[in-house]
Chains A and B, each alone.
Chain A
Amino acid sequence: MKLAEIKDLLRCEVLAGEEDLSIDISHVVASDGMSEILAFAKSKELMITGLTNIQSIRTADIAGVSAVLYCRGKRPDKKVIEFAKQKRIPVLVTEMVMFDICGILYNRGLKGVS
């Protein structure tokens, strides 16, 4: 599924990487624990988290995920968005809670990682 479809489906706002919404997403990793993301991400996933500090983007970069989606309307500050742009990681935010996001994406055929 294209990141652009995920954006529409989850009514997201794009905070960084508007030009990269054509990337394909097939797997998802979701957690507020960064070590959990590092342990399970295999690279190229969509990362869903409620943690909006600089470490979320740092983790995304180290783990090699394709994009970051912040849930429950949590917005990172400017410095974090700038850092994501610098690392070329698209960043989206939705008002939806993590459980609902995962349910919707699972129903559309996206897979988790383990």
Chain B
Amino acid sequence: MAMELLRENFQIQGRNFDKAGEISSEIKVILKDLEIDSACLRRCVIVAFEAEMNVVMYADRGTLALILTDKDITLEVKDEGPGIPDIDLAMKEGYSTASDEMREMGFGFGMGLPNMKKNSDEFCVESEVGKGTSVFARIRLDSHA
């Protein structure tokens, strides 16, 4: 049984592109202060950043929970957004429903979810159209991929 060492909850403000990414930067500082292995830290903040950007781009609001145990880091991101009708399709690299505004921000090229999966040891997405999306990602502390 893994021992929980830290749990932090963050509120993500949807549509606020100026603040987008601030939570991920904060997570980076928290994990760095805890002297988490740099490869593991990097994977974790990439997942957090992509997830945070998705919430900012698509949802009105969302939450991000960061849970650190002695074995892994878990990120749970939940939003009140439009939901994803076809998750398999959304997981394909290059598939995107992004607007021009999102692309002008440098995002929405259909790599967000695949990037999150690539950087996680366990990854799952649950979504209900019209209600929202939840993303769960776990990164093992001993993984250096």
A-side interface residues toward B, CB under 8 Å?
A: 32-36, 38-39, 43, 49, 51, 53-56, 58-59, 61-64
Contacts and interface: CB of A to CB of B under 8 A. Distances in A.
A62 B106 contact: no
A56 B106 contact: yes
B24 interface: yes
* Chain B interface main SS type: helix
Contacts of A56: 106
Contacts of A43: 38, 42
Contacts of A51: 106
Report whether over half of chain A's contact residues are helix, strand or loop; otherwise say mixed. helix
A69 to B, nearest CB: 15
Contacts of B118: 39
B62 interface: no
A22 to B, nearest CB: 22
Closest 9 CB pairs of A and B: A35-B111, A34-B106, A58-B21, A33-B109, A51-B106, A62-B49, A62-B45, A39-B115, A38-B46
Contacts of B45: 62
B24 A62 contact: yes
Bin the interface of chain B by size.
20 to 34
Contacts of A35: 50, 106-107, 109, 111-112, 115
Contact of B111 (A32, A33, A61): A33
Interface in B36-67: 38, 42, 45-46, 49-50, 53
B106 A38 contact: no
